[in-house]
Copies of this chain bind each other. A is one copy, B any other.
Amino acid sequence: MPHIVIIGGGFGGLSAAKRLRREDVQVTLVDRKNHHVFQPLLYQVATATLSPGDIAAPIRWILRRVRNVRVLMAEARRIDVNARRVELADGGALDYDYLIVASGSRHAYFGHGEWEADAPGLKTLEDAIAIRRRILVAFERAERETDAARQRALLTFALVGGGPTGVELAGTLAEIARQTLRDEFRSIDTSRARVVLIEGGPSILATFPEPLRLAAKRSLEKLGVEVREHTVVTAVDAHGVTCANGERLDAGTVVWAAGVAASPLASTLGVPTDRAGRVIVEPDLSIPGHPEVFVVGDAAAFLHQGGTPLPGVAQTAMQGATHAAGNVMRLIRKQPTVPFVYKNIGNMAIVGRNSAVADLPWARLSGLIGWLSWLFLHIVMLIGFRNRVVVLFEWAMAYVTFQRGARLITGETEGLRAQASGPGAGSGPRPDH
């Protein structure tokens, strides 16, 4: 029986596995994590609204009834296309007859990998928990800071990159500072926190049509977000960011949402990639010279539909993976493969309370209607009844009470230790009530 290996348990990998469920093949799905993450809601974990468990589900559980799929929690390190073998980080290996690579992307720093320590990106649950910790610790440190300039910097949040992730983080952070944390601190006024969204290009949400871009910008500014367009960040350090125009922004928290690159695994295929490390695939999604290897989603650059890569969204991965799995079955049946055609079903970004922009094939929505469609679509797409109910409840609670369900600082609180280095930080004989 042919053995098909799928690398990645994201939207792409799961779609491929499901497409193959009734076929007479053996499938092995490999992922570094035991869980699938619903990435469109990651920013809600980073901003303490949802718990990690609310937007994730064990891959084994999702595929428990797909009897021809075996799930392995392991890290694919290298692909040997000549030996038809996937090498695993733990020393094991998987031989395949057909391979579907859906290994996704990581954030990219355009040659400045050293910025990552000071400006983490948001791609995994671990990233989200780390960003949540930084944001919450910044407020805790500001409460104890006696130096006004340092306190101001701690209450400044710089978000680099004006795509959907940056916009979503900015809107939520502004609401947290102005509403959620109100009344809880004694030394600081959290509503005076600055949330600065920095976009290098001419506009935030560049992939959206102009009326929606402007609507989003207005919504953000109404929430108190400072939107800086045409502003390229040239340096990031532990105390803030420096921009190309010479402006210096002292910020205790910097989050990177400015770019992604394909996961390093894609480069081990030994075929041409684009600048972001994405494998340039054939029209049928296979790689040059190896018709049995397919690459889909964020790991692929599909340039046969207008010359620019497809958007890095769930739909691209899902449609591509289903198509690639179909082509694998055609190869098995000795039929010619067919070219992939991406069908754009729309593009959405949430901007904040009551406001989102949705660019759909049949309509452009913004404001409350955009927001309601966003809510509806994301609840429907979430995997698992339990997650849908809990997410809906958490949203309702956050909406009505402004409270956030997961304001936990877990793990190492380096932030609080680091504080000791600042003179006068939190010392003094008695708190000032």
Interface residues of A (CB under 8 A from B): 3, 26, 28, 32-35, 51-54, 56-58, 60-61, 64-65, 68, 70-75, 88-95, 125-126, 129, 136-137, 140, 143-144, 181, 183-186, 385-386, 389-390, 393-394, 397, 401, 403, 405-411, 413, 416-417, 419-420, 425-431, 433
| A28: B residues at CB distance < 8 A | 431
Q: Are B431 and A70 in contact (CB under 8 A)?
A: yes
User: In the complex, A185 Cα to B385 Cα: how many Å?
Assistant: 22
| A427: B residues at CB distance < 8 A | 91-93
Q: Least Cβ distance of A6 to chain B in Å? A: 13
Please name the 6 residue pairs, one residue from A and one from B, whose CB atoms are nearest each other, closest first.
A53-B406, A51-B51, A92-B426, A51-B53, A90-B420, A92-B427
Q: Are A411 and B126 in contact (CB under 8 A)?
A: yes
Q: Least Cβ distance of A328 to chain B in Å? A: 17
**Could you list 13 further interchain pairs (A-B, Cβ under 8 angstroms) beyond the known A70-B186, A390-B390?**
A26-B431, A34-B140, A34-B407, A34-B408, A35-B409, A61-B184, A61-B403, A64-B183, A88-B426, A90-B426, A91-B427, A386-B393, A389-B393
State the copy count for this chain: 2
- A61: nearest chain-B partner, CB-CB: B184
User: In the complex, A409 Cα to B61 Cα: how many Å?
Assistant: 14
Residue of B64, B88, B406, B409 touching A73 (CB-CB under 8 A)? B409
- A58: nearest chain-B partner, CB-CB: B407
Q: Are B386 and A405 in contact (CB under 8 A)?
A: yes
> Given A53-B51, A56-B408, are A426 and B184 also a contact pair (CB < 8 Å)?
no
Q: Least Cβ distance of A422 to chain B in Å? A: 9
- A429: nearest chain-B partner, CB-CB: B95
Q: Counting chain B CB atoms within 10 Å of each CB, which of A32, A94, A394, A426 scores highest?
A: A426
Q: Are B184 and A74 in contact (CB under 8 A)?
A: no
Q: Least Cβ distance of A433 to chain B in Å? A: 5
> Given A34-B140, A184-B60, A186-B70, are A91 and B405 also a contact pair (CB < 8 Å)?
no
- A96: nearest chain-B partner, CB-CB: B430
Q: Could you write out 11 A-B pairs with CB less than 8 Å apart?
A: A28-B431, A72-B143, A73-B416, A90-B417, A90-B419, A91-B426, A92-B426, A95-B429, A125-B410, A386-B393, A390-B394
